[in-house]
Structure 1
């Protein structure tokens, strides 16, 4: 994927590291070839994960409500990120019986 496709508010899946397989939302760009990602559960917005682009898989889903808030600099809550990702069917913990 080209770097231009990685935008704030896009859904990505981690391909490498201890968080491999989890889904996150891009929340910022600290420097070239890196992004900040958060999911509202494991990685909160106040401590986002800095991740290399090559370790991420870009998903076709975009979260327009979250994207608009992040780009406008408005307050976004961790619960909003978490519920937006879960609404798409990702990162849902299965209850054990």
Structure 2
């Protein structure tokens, strides 16, 4: 995976499709290689105990949290609070739109 693709995944909200955290939303905080990413949500999965996940086991959304992405690119770290904020912002913007009958593509 090239650096551009790697950077485009950082800060992206994903939905876990398999495993103990199925249907939970998390954020990619690190890309290991073409198959694996490191996920955290700032709540159950904090940044000090992130989850290594196969890309085939997650659904990558179109939503990137600019706050999380900038923090990761600038310092290589992100706070748990920022992750929680980004996920709650995603849930309020995108998922509430879904309930209005929209398709899940992140468009407004």
Q: TM tier, shorter chain? A: 0.7 to 0.9
- Where structure 1 has 5 or more consecutive residues not aligned to the other structure, the ranges are 91-97
CA positional deviation for 1:75: 4.4
Structure 2 partner of 1:41: 43
CA spacing shift, 1:33–1:75, aligned 2, 3 Å? closer
Question: What is the SS of the residue equivalent to 2:73?
Answer: helix
Say which structure is richer in helix. 2
TM-score normalised to structure 2 length: 0.73
Aligned length: 87
CA RMSD of aligned residues (A): 1.8
> CA–CA distance in 2 between the matches of 1:84 and 1:32?
25
4+ residue segments displaced more than 4 Å: none
